Structure 1
Amino acid sequence: MSRRRRSTEDNGGIAFLDVISCGFGAIILLLMITENSAPVTLESTESPRDEPIAELQETLFEIRGETEIVNRDLNARREQLSAYQQRIARLEREMSNIRGEFETSDETADQMQQEQSQLAIAKQSLTEEMQRLLGQSFTREENVIGGIPVDSEYIIFIIDTSGSMFYNAWPRVLSMVDEILNVYPEVQGIQVMNDMGDYMFPAYRGQWIPDTPARRQAIISTLRNWAPFSNSSPVEGITRAISAFYQPGQKVSIYSFGDDFQQGGSITRVIETVDRINADQNDGSRLVRIHAVGFPVLFDLDPRFHESVYRFATLMRELAERNGGSFVGLNSYQAN
């Protein structure tokens, strides 16, 4: 009985040891498999690289700098091109004028001669005051300048100071004023106004400028840079000059210089206004003689303004004819 019991107990202990040994063996086998196999990557992400980004940024900055330099060079080239184009346009206009002068020189001479003969009028007789100043034996070598009589005692210049005149015809304006002053050896008084009736010398508002060599020089010197606002209508200057300066017994001549008369003005209304203020109440004779000189500036600048040039010529020709004066249309607005 005791032997069997002991044998059974021994067999149970051996079976338990076998189970434990198998368990340890399994664990060791699992450890060996785990160490020998490579890890499996389930998901991968690329880490940002700073160096390529920095290089790209540096390249971008360089490109921007080069772009600014190119833009500056391009703007400079555009400005230079614009200057060249303006110069070419100016040279083309000058070439066109020269060609026109050569091609139409004979025709122009005939037209000028015909125009002067048509516009010339009877010369005013010398007053006692002019005879005293000039002397009984004085004989004027030039009684007209461009077809305009120049034998008055007082002269008033009404000058269009608009941009088209000042920036294009001003040297010719200076030349014409200087020529007219030179033809008069001596007068009782001079006045200079723009077409709006503004005085060149405000200190002489409503007064005559004394005729002295210094005053004449001051007129030419001041006129070089004198450009007050102008509406390109001579009516204001003419009417103000007549109202402010006419005195009975004085021989006054107005010289109106201009290049256009804008569409807004009425030619008929201007003529009627001047007729009303410049007519003597007794016999209807004119108080002031009105001369006009037309400068063909807008013929070259823009064909759209040709109508304004024709309107100015029509107006001033009619005013001159009605007021004992002459109208002369120049063939060129550039100084000789």
Structure 2
Amino acid sequence: MIRRSSVPIFSLSFLDCICCGFGAIILLFVLTMGSETKVVQELRERLQRIVEQQLVTLAELRRSQDEILITQARASVSTIALQEKESLKQLLARLEQQVADQKAARDRLLVDVEEVKTDLAARQKPKEIALSVDPAPIGLPAESNHVAFIIDSSGSMRDPSSERIWPIVLKKFDEVLNAYPDVKGIQFLDADGRFIISGRQAEQTWLPDNAATRNAIKSALFDYDIFSNSNPVPGIVRALRTLLDENDPEMRMTIFILGDEFTGTADAVLRRLDELNPRNEQGKRRVVINAIGFPTAVKMGFSMGNTGVKYANLMREVTFQHGGAFIALQEIEEREERPRDRERPER
């Protein structure tokens, strides 16, 4: 048998291959390290640019924040200034209102003083002899063919013992009514403008003049239990608006007011009545307004703030401007006559 020679495990060729392999690995590692360094550099530069951009953005945000703070400060100053301005306006408005109130109070005081002076002067005059009043009151034109009555039915115009209209008021109403024995239409309202004879056919139109109508009117007034305000103006206004027929040239209307008090302002009433009953081209008015003043408020102590004097002054001016007359009674006549003693008007 031929004996073979032994082959060494680590020969030169094997070592060469191993060395070459290690060298290749080292070369790859070196090459890889160089590539990673470049990538890292690029990332570093990119991060640097991002940081710079963020710093710029942060600076801009800080500037914006500063501007916002400045704007807010200015807005706060403006708001405070606006609030102060509004407060000053409110204070000025209150001061102006106080001045206006004081002026109005002064004017009212002056009016009251003048009225008191007038009342005192009238009381200090020598007592004149009272003239008897004819049944046909002065100021009622005889040619009137439509007569409307405005009657104050407030508490001062009633007998406290019976709460009925004072007998003197009923008497004067009868006298005026009898002064017109033949007219085309009659109507009467309370001071608030309510038609005393109510009903769909009776309201807002003239009642025919006949004996039955006159008796019904007297009976209704005797039993009238609705208390009106002490202000005849609403009744006058409603009579002018609803009873005056502008399309009837033959209508000659007269309004007669029976009252004792007035609590409003005369100037406003005069302007209103002048609008509702204006003068024509000849300077005449369609409606004549007359009035009777009863001293019940003064004599019975009902008057508050010279309302009786105000009524007299107003009616004197109204009747003068509207072609009528004002009759002021000096005493409450027939006080001893009570409704239970007075005969009830025939129905």
Q: TM-score range with shorter-chain normalisation?
A: 0.5 to 0.7
Contact in 1 for aligned 2:167/2:334 (Cα 8 Å)? yes
The alignment status of 1:145 with 2:136, answered yes or no, reads yes
Determine the C-alpha separation between the residues in 1 that align with 2:241 and 2:262: 22
Q: Give how far 1:311 is off.
A: 0.2
TM-score by length of 2: 0.54
Q: Give how far 1:185 is off.
A: 1.6
Determine the C-alpha separation between the residues in 2 that align with 1:150 and 1:283: 18
2:59 corresponds in structure 1 to: none
Determine the C-alpha separation between the residues in 1 that align with 2:311 and 2:303: 15
Which consecutive residues of structure 2, in runs of 5 or more, have no partner in the other structure? 1-125, 336-347
Alignment RMSD (CA, Å): 2.2
1:309 corresponds in structure 2 to: 308
- The SS at the match of 1:270 is helix
What does the per-residue CA deviation read over 1:156-197, in whole Å, with 9 as the maximum and x for residues that have no partner?
010000011022662111111111121212100000100110
Q: Give how far 1:283 is off.
A: 4.4
Determine the C-alpha separation between the residues in 2 that align with 1:277 and 1:303: 31
1:254 corresponds in structure 2 to: 255
Query: Within 5 Å, which residues of 2 pair with 1:217-228?
Result: 217-228=215-226
Determine the C-alpha separation between the residues in 2 that align with 1:243 and 1:236: 11
Determine the C-alpha separation between the residues in 1 that align with 2:331 and 2:205: 34
Which consecutive residues of structure 1, in runs of 5 or more, have no partner in the other structure? 1-105, 117-141
Determine the C-alpha separation between the residues in 2 that align with 1:149 and 1:326: 8
Instruction: Kindly name which structure, 1 or 2, has the bigger radius of gyration based on alpha carbons.
Output: 2
- The SS at the match of 1:224 is helix
Determine the C-alpha separation between the residues in 2 that align with 1:208 and 1:191: 6
1:191 corresponds in structure 2 to: 187
In structure 2, give the amino acid aligned to 1:229: F
What does the per-residue CA deviation read over 1:193-249, in whole Å, with 9 as the maximum and x for residues that have no partner?
001100011221111111110110111111112132311111100011011111233
The alignment status of 1:239 with 2:240, answered yes or no, reads no
Q: Give how far 1:303 is off.
A: 7.4
Query: Within 5 Å, which residues of 2 pair with 1:76-155?
Result: 107-109=127-129, 112=131, 145-151=136-142, 152-155=144-147
Determine the C-alpha separation between the residues in 1 that align with 2:127 and 2:309: 20
Contact in 2 for aligned 1:175/1:335 (Cα 8 Å)? no
1:278 corresponds in structure 2 to: 277
Determine the C-alpha separation between the residues in 2 that align with 1:294 and 1:255: 11
Taking only the aligned residue pairs, the percentage that are identical comes to 34
Contact in 1 for aligned 2:259/2:293 (Cα 8 Å)? yes
In structure 1, give the amino acid aligned to 2:300: L
TM-score by length of 1: 0.55
Determine the C-alpha separation between the residues in 2 that align with 1:236 and 1:325: 19
What does the per-residue CA deviation read over 1:275-302, in whole Å, with 9 as the maximum and x for residues that have no partner?
1110145444212100000000011222
In structure 2, give the amino acid aligned to 1:145: A
What does the per-residue CA deviation read over 1:3-42, in whole Å, with 9 as the maximum and x for residues that have no partner?
xxxxxxxxxxxxxxxxxxxxxxxxxxxxxxxxxxxxxxxx
- The SS at the match of 1:202 is coil
* Residues 300 and 277 (structure 1), Cα distance of their counterparts in 2 relative to 1, 3 Å cut: same
In structure 2, give the amino acid aligned to 1:333: I
The alignment status of 1:333 with 2:325, answered yes or no, reads no
Q: Give how far 1:257 is off.
A: 0.5
In structure 2, give the amino acid aligned to 1:261: F
* Residues 255 and 217 (structure 1), Cα distance of their counterparts in 2 relative to 1, 3 Å cut: same
1:167 corresponds in structure 2 to: 159
Contact in 2 for aligned 1:299/1:305 (Cα 8 Å)? no
Q: Give how far 1:259 is off.
A: 0.6
1:158 corresponds in structure 2 to: 150
Determine the C-alpha separation between the residues in 2 that align with 1:180 and 1:172: 12
2:29 corresponds in structure 1 to: none
Contact in 2 for aligned 1:166/1:227 (Cα 8 Å)? no
